[in-house]
Amino acid sequence: MVAGGWTINGVEPNGVPSHVMEWIQHWAEICQPTDIHIMDGSDEEDQMLKKMMVEQGVLIPLTKYQNCYLARTDPKDVARTEARTVISTKNKIDTHPVTDTYSGKLGHWISPEDLDKKIQSLFPGCMNGRTMYVIPFSMGPVGSQLSRIGIEITDSAYVSVCMRIMTRVGRQVLNVLGDSPFVKGVHSVGAPLKPGEHSALWPCNPDKVLIAHKPETSEIISFGSGYGGNSLLGKKCLALRLGSSIARKEGWLAEHMLISGVTMPNGQKKYITAAFPSCCGKTNLAMLQPKLPGYKVTVVGDDIAWLHPDENGQLRAINPENGFFGVAPGTNFQSNPYAMASIFKDTIFSNVALTPDGGVWWEGMGPKPKSCIDWRGKPWRASSSTPAAHPNSRFCTPLVNCPVLDPAWEDPHGVPVSAIFFGGRRPSGVPLIYQAISWEHGVFMGAAVKSEATAAAEFKGKQIMHDPFSMRPFFGYNFGDYLRHWLSIGKLLKNPPPIFMVNWFRRGHDGGLLWPGFGDNIRVLEWALNRSAGQLPASGRCVGWVPTHDGLDIHGLEESPDMEALLATPTRFWREEAAEIRQYFKSEIGDSLPTEMWRQLDKLDKRIEVFSDYNVEEDEYHSYEPIG
Ligand code: SAT
Ligand code: MN
């Protein structure tokens, strides 16, 4: 029993540190759950929760696979809700870079007073009729110096079982915590039950969603949504939003990046990190099956990297997560064979289609089934005009399932980083790959990332949006300060890793993709790693270092790609791009922008004009002497 009269059916409360108990009790008194369950992280507990959810109809067992389940969300709760995601700091300028032309694109700010008012209007009694689950979790290996401990309170059993996949959950976390402070996360689906009332299969409260972060007190408050990025509080909320703010204070970086090891034919192994917006292929690149002989790629993480400069000035990366929360549509044995080898065991799928034999299907998985049950639970036929799976349907799978998991995935010191990649979906103008001229130029490239909107958030259509560092939805503090922080990290590194921009999504005149992508992306990584080792010439262009026309190994490709079109840097496009970046910097970042970024933009302008003389034809490819 906790004082206050709630039954605890997990572990004995006397094993729980007293500051944790006080915090639990504080929220229990506000939320008024029926009972409290402190998670111990055991298999028995996991099975008990899943069995309960199957009985309630919240999870559907997938009999074709081993320990796999399907959850269908409310159609109004299928993605992150960026417009309702806020950061609360005393001063607005600590969240958002400009105060006058505030658009909210780089962080929605709310005052602590207004947030308190919202909490007071939303949370009292919000867990009536429900169990309050208390989830102690570690982001990063339990006990590592680089890890962070959080505790999430939630009234969703679905969130509890997914947190057990995505983070390290259980008793051992509380043992390590002792009486130290922890990140406090409170989540409610916001759908209290009256006595005798039955719960919706996917309870949520879409009109009242609030995802709030208080970096000054390490607190997260999430209301109204059960969708992964909104409710699994260790992921975007702790590891990126609060994480980036903690990292700034402590001298490291929390980034929206995959981490992979690339073993080359000579046996040498290098680790890379890469930032792409959600739904742009991070999971596919992280565990790519190389199409060049002699290469092997192993995965450390597919979404989040915590990057620390070590005492020797080497940048090192850890993956704070314990699972993959990957996009299902498009995943198949060709695009991502290792994901396919990982996800049919111990996985919780959301919003995919259910096949008659108790399996799953999604668009781009393979041949259409004749019929199935779609993500809304409705009968679906191969001739149906609506998708069977939601475009943002997901698999939630433990990392250990992956056959190409890197042996150092849990190394408490992290892996050394040899190259950093940025990228987005750019149908035109942006080359397949180019290299920054310096760390500062690389930071500028990250700041200027743009990408087509995807299904990961609430945006509609194919608009091209700024997504600096692929972190736009995840910045925990002022973006101008974030850029200054990146610049200062470069100074701490003895040999800063080279920075590259990649674009798998360039299209030709006929609208088709110019590059095959997936396993053939190893050809691009090979160029980058050889460049990092100083082993290749490149041509200096307005954007930086671009491969020479024969720089990439394209032998063995079924169709020979149009390398000229893939590597072209059309002058008119880049003039417009640079002018648009200037406008964006001015209106969205204003005085917060470090002067170094203006300097880099001026240099880009200059290079565009210098090289424009040669670009007589907009799309023509030329190889130049490298720029110095
Ligand atoms: O935010 S989620 O983790 O649900 C997915 C994503 O946007 O990366
Ligand atoms: Mn992500």
Q: What is the pLDDT of residue 184?
A: 98
Distance from residue 325's CA to the centre of ligand 1 (Å): 7
Q: Which residue has the higher pLDDT, 534 or 415?
A: 415
In a shared domain, residues 544 and 461: yes
Domain count, the chain: 3
Residue nearest atom 6 of ligand 1, based on CA coordinates: 278
Ligand 1: which residue has its CA nearest to atom 4?
229
Closest CA to 41 of 154, 161, 148: 161
On whether both 394 and 415 belong to a single domain, the answer is: no
The verdict on 278 and 368 lying in the same domain is no
**Residue 84 CA, ligand 1 centroid: distance in Å:** 15
Quick check: is 622 in a domain? Answer: no
- Res. 340 pLDDT band, cuts 50 70 90: very high
CATH number at residue 109: 3.40.449.10
Q: CA 310, CA 133: separation in Å to the nearest integer?
A: 37
In the numeric block, the tokens 């259910």 are attached to 354
CB 566: neighbour CB atoms within 10 A? 21
pLDDT at position 10 over 70: no
Pair (495, 534) in one structural domain: yes
**C-beta separation of 620 from 564 below 8 A:** yes
The residue whose C-alpha atom lies closest to atom 2 belonging to ligand 1 is 229
- Which ligand neighbours the alpha carbon of 236 most closely? 1
Is 280 considered catalytic here?
yes
| Residues near ligand 1 (Cβ within 6 A) | 80, 228-229, 235-236, 278, 303, 325, 456
pLDDT exceeds cutoff 50 at 620: no
Which ligand 1 atom is at minimum distance from the Cα of 282?
8
| Closest ligand to residue 303's CA | 2
Token pair for 303: 């979404």
Residues 100 and 230 in one domain: yes
Q: Whose CA is nearest to atom 5 of ligand 1?
A: 229
Q: What does the pLDDT look like over 465-476, one tens digit per residue? A: 999 999 999 999
Q: What is the pLDDT of residues 143-197, one digit of tens each?
A: 999 999 999 999 999 999 999 999 999 999 999 999 999 999 999 999 999 999 9
Q: What type of residue sits at position 330?
A: G
| DSSP structural state of residue 368 | P
- Name the range with the highest mean pLDDT among 274-278, 488-492, 589-593: 488-492
Percent of the chain scoring above 70 in pLDDT: 93
- Ligand 1 atom nearest residue 303's Cα: 8
* Average pLDDT estimate for 455-468: 78
Q: Looking at the structure, do residues 336 and 430 belong to the same domain, yes or no?
A: no
Write the pLDDT tens digit of every residue in 565-601.
999 999 999 999 999 999 999 999 999 999 999 999 9
Residue 369 covered by a domain: yes
> In 3D, which of 552, 68, 21, 19 has the Cα closest to residue 352?
68
- Tokens coding 21: 């108990």
Choice among 126, 162, 280, 542 that is catalytic? 280
Rounded to the nearest angstrom, the distance between the alpha carbon of 50 and the centre of ligand 2 is 26
- Residue where a domain stops, chosen among 200, 217, 251: 251
Show the CA angle centred on residue 63, arms to residues 59 and 69, nearest 5°. Answer: 25
Query: What whole-number distance in Å separates Cα of residue 313 and Cα of residue 419?
Result: 15
pLDDT digits (tens, 9 = 90+) for 516-536: 999 999 999 999 999 998 888
Supply the pLDDT for residue 105: 80
**Is the Cβ–Cβ distance between 485 and 253 less than 8 Å?**
yes
What's the confidence (pLDDT) of residue 279?
A: 82
Residue 617 has a pLDDT of 43
**Which protein residue has the closest C-alpha to ligand 1 atom 1?**
229
Q: Are residues 394 and 302 in the same domain?
A: no
For 545, list phi and psi in degrees, rounded to 5: -90, 120
- Measured distance CA(167)–CA(165) in Å, rounded: 6
Q: Going by CA atoms, what residue is nearest to atom 8 of ligand 1?
A: 278
Atom of ligand 1 nearest to the CA of 235: 3
Closest ligand to 394 CA? 1
| Amino acid 102: pLDDT | 62
Q: Are residues 133 and 270 in the same domain?
A: no
Picking from 225, 251, 277, the residue at the C-terminal end of a domain is: 251
**Domain end position, chosen among 251, 281, 313:** 251
The band of 615, judged by pLDDT with boundaries at 50, 70 and 90, is: very low
Cα–Cα distance list, 414 to 103, 146, 321, 417 (Å): 37, 9, 13, 9
Question: What are the residues facing 272 on neighbouring strands?
Answer: 260, 419
Number of other residues whose CB lies within 10 A of the CB of residue 218: 18
Query: Are residues 317 and 328 part of one domain?
Result: no
Q: What is the CATH number of the domain that holds 352?
A: 2.170.8.10
598 CA to centre of own chain: 28
Q: Which of 222, 240, 325 has most ligand 1 atoms within 8 Å of its beta carbon, as the pocket-test mutant? A: 325
Question: Tell me, what's the pLDDT at 626?
Answer: 38
pLDDT digits (tens, 9 = 90+) for 305-337: 999 999 999 999 999 999 999 999 999 999 999
Residue at 62 is within a domain: no
In a shared domain, residues 286 and 236? no
The model's pLDDT over 225-242, given as tens digits with 9 standing for 90+, comes to 999 999 999 999 999 999
Checking if the pLDDT of 271 tops 50, the result is yes
CATH number of 278's domain? 3.90.228.20
- Atom 3, ligand 1: which residue's CA is nearest? 229
Question: How far, in Å, from the CA of 229 to the mean position of ligand 1?
Answer: 5
Q: Residue 477: inside a domain, yes or no?
A: yes
Q: Torsion angle, CA of 403/407/408/409, rounded to 10 degrees?
A: 20
What pTM was estimated for this model as a whole? 0.95
Strand partners, 297: 262
Least confident of 410-424, 446-460, 502-516: 446-460
Alpha helices (H) in 39-188, listed in sequence order: 43-56, 112-122, 157-166, 171-177
Q: Which atom of ligand 1 is nearest to the CA of 456?
A: 7
Asked whether residue 541 is assigned to any structural domain, the reply reads yes
DSSP codes, 495-528: SPPPEEEE-TT-B-TTS-BSS--GGGGHHHHHHH
- Domain check: are 281 and 202 in the same one? no
Residue 618 has pLDDT above 50, yes or no: no
Report yes or no on 74 lying in a domain.
no
Rounded distance from Cα 264 to ligand 2 centre (Å): 27
pLDDT, residue 628, reads 35
Helix (H, G, I), strand (E, B) or coil at 103: coil
Q: What is the mean pLDDT of residues 361-372?
A: 98
Q: How far is the CA of 603 from the centre of ligand 1 (A)?
A: 35
Burial (Cβ within 10 Å: 0-12, 13-18, ≥19) of residue 595: exposed
Residue 525 domain flag:
yes
- Ligand nearest the Cα of residue 256 is 2
Ligand 2 centroid to residue 256 C-alpha, Å: 6
Give the C-alpha separation, 569 to 577, whole Å. 11
For tokens 């057990």, the residue is 164
Alpha carbon distances (Å) from 541 to 6, 169, 344, 418, 573? 67, 49, 46, 23, 14
Q: What is the pLDDT of residue 619?
A: 39
Torsions phi, psi for 225 (to 5 deg):
-130, 140
The answer to whether 148 and 243 are in contact (CB under 8 A) is yes
Q: What is the pLDDT of residue 535?
A: 81
Residue among 162, 303, 322 to mutate when testing ligand 1 (max atoms within 8 A of CB)? 303
Given a cut of 50, is residue 31 above it in pLDDT? yes
Tell me the C-alpha distance between 287 and 281, whole Å: 10
Using most ligand atoms within 8 A of CB, pick from 139, 213, 236 the residue to mutate for ligand 1: 236
**Confidence (pLDDT) at 107:** 82
Host H or E run for residue 442: helix 439-447
Chain-wide mean pLDDT for the chain?
93
Is pLDDT above 70 for 101?
no
Is the same domain home to 498 and 536? yes
Residue 522 lies in a domain: yes
Per-residue tokens: 390: 């939601």
- Residues spanned by the domain of 41: 8-57+80-251
